[in-house]
């Protein structure tokens, strides 16, 4: 048996609530209670809503460590000369140099056009440009690493040379090495360093941050009837194991980000349950990345709207994520998401301004 903590009871402002609220991961969100989840055999068997006030008196050593993980500030990402603060939500822009990505495959005629688009996304407010050369949409086939490198290397070089913070979206060690040599300073691996046996050592040797994303199955078959005992607990414990493996390989926890893998081996119900319980993942002590932009779940909930008509749903999920303290939202529609987050930030700033 173990117990997990999910922050809830979010409040606009800590003023007048001394000792009754806590700050989530050093960010702009404050919460007044936690749901203490009792887990047995990978399944939630009980839940108790506990006020923040006086909660420390209920802690054993394990819960005290989880509380520290929930509330400790997340260090900024240092991506080359760029510093990405994580005390506020940031946008990671998707830039796919692929012919078959589910939403924007084949969008760019060549690498120069893709790099120009990436520079435009940075200008529109994206903190990080995430460049990918292999589609991992449901049903996608593996791309030879040489082709993947040929797709991403010139884009990364041009973007990094122009001062953008660039991440590489890949599962392959050789592609990681080429991307790092071209100026990428963050690795986003949808397999959480499980696809390529060399990948974990490449990341450890590089010293750059890495996103570990949950998945169930390979892209070719991951949506063939995915099953979980308890999706929220399963994903949490799987990511917990991958963080431990990364640390054992020499990757500092401060350099690890986690992504629950919205849409990667999950049904619509699984995705929605993960979104509702997203704040639980702060208990891992790592920044949270959420990529729900234009995903199939949005279409399923909106009369099968095609991928390029899912902006409203994408914004809804982005705002749901940042309301629960997610530090990075990975999106296709950058200016619209940046505007939505500016409004959200304005609301938070007003709430956090002491009244005269």
- What are the φ/ψ torsions at residue 31 (nearest 5 degrees)? -130, 150
pLDDT at 62: 87
pLDDT at 107: 67
Same-domain check for residues 157 and 205: yes
Structural domain boundaries enclosing 268: 77-351
Same-domain check for residues 59 and 110: no
Same-domain check for residues 302 and 159: yes
pLDDT at 136: 78
Same-domain check for residues 269 and 328: yes
Tell me the catalytic residues: 295, 330
CATH code where residue 94 lies: 3.20.20.20
Same-domain check for residues 238 and 347: yes
Q: Which residues of the chain have pLDDT under 70?
A: 100-109, 139, 217-222, 224
Same-domain check for residues 268 and 133: yes
pLDDT at 105: 47
Dihedral sign for Cα 290, 343, 347, 272, please.
negative
Whole-angstrom distance, CA of residue 293 vs CA of residue 325: 17
Same-domain check for residues 113 and 11: no
Residue 72 lies in a domain: no
């Amino acid at each position: 048996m173990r117990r997990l903590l999910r922050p809830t009871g979010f409040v606009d402002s800590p003023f007048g609530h001394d000792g009754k609220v806590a700050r989530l991961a050093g960010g702009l969100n404050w919460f007044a209670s936690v749901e203490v989840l009792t887990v047995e055999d990978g399944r939630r068997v009980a839940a108790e809503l506990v006020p923040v006030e006086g909660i420390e008196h209920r802690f054993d050593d394990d819960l005290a460590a989880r509380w520290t993980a929930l509330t400790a500030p997340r260090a900024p990402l240092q991506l080359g000369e760029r510093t990405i603060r994580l005390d506020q939500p940031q946008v990671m822009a998707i830039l796919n140099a692929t012919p078959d990505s589910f939403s924007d495959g084949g969008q760019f005629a060549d690498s120069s056009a893709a790099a120009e688009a990436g520079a435009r996304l940075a200008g529109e407010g994206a903190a990080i440009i995430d460049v990918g050369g292999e589609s991992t949409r449901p049903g996608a086939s593996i791309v030879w690493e040489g082709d993947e490198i040929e797709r991403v290397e010139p884009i990364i070089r041009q973007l990094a040379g122009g001062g953008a913070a660039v991440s590489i979206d890949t599962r392959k060690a050789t592609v990681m090495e080429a991307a790092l040599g071209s100026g990428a300073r963050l690795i986003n691996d949808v397999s959480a360093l499980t696809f390529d046996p060399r990948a974990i050592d490449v990341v450890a040797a590089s010293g750059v941050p890495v996103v570990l994303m949950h998945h169930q199955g390979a892209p070719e078959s991951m949506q063939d009837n995915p099953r979980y005992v308890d999706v929220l607990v399963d994903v949490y414990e799987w990511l917990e194991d991958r963080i431990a493996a990364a640390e054992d390989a020499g990757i500092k926890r401060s350099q690890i980000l986690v992504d629950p893998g919205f849409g990667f081996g999950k049904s619509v119900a699984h995705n929605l349950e993960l979104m509702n319980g997203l704040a639980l993942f702060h208990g891992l002590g790592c920044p949270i990345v959420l990529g729900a932009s234009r995903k199939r779940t949005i279409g399923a909930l909106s009369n099968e709207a095609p991928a390029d008509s899912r902006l409203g749903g994408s914004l809804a999920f982005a705002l749901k994520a940042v309301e629960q303290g997610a530090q990075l939202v990975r999106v296709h529609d950058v200016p619209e998401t940046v505007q939505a987050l500016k409004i959200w930030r304005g609301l938070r700033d007003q709430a956090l301004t002491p009244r005269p």
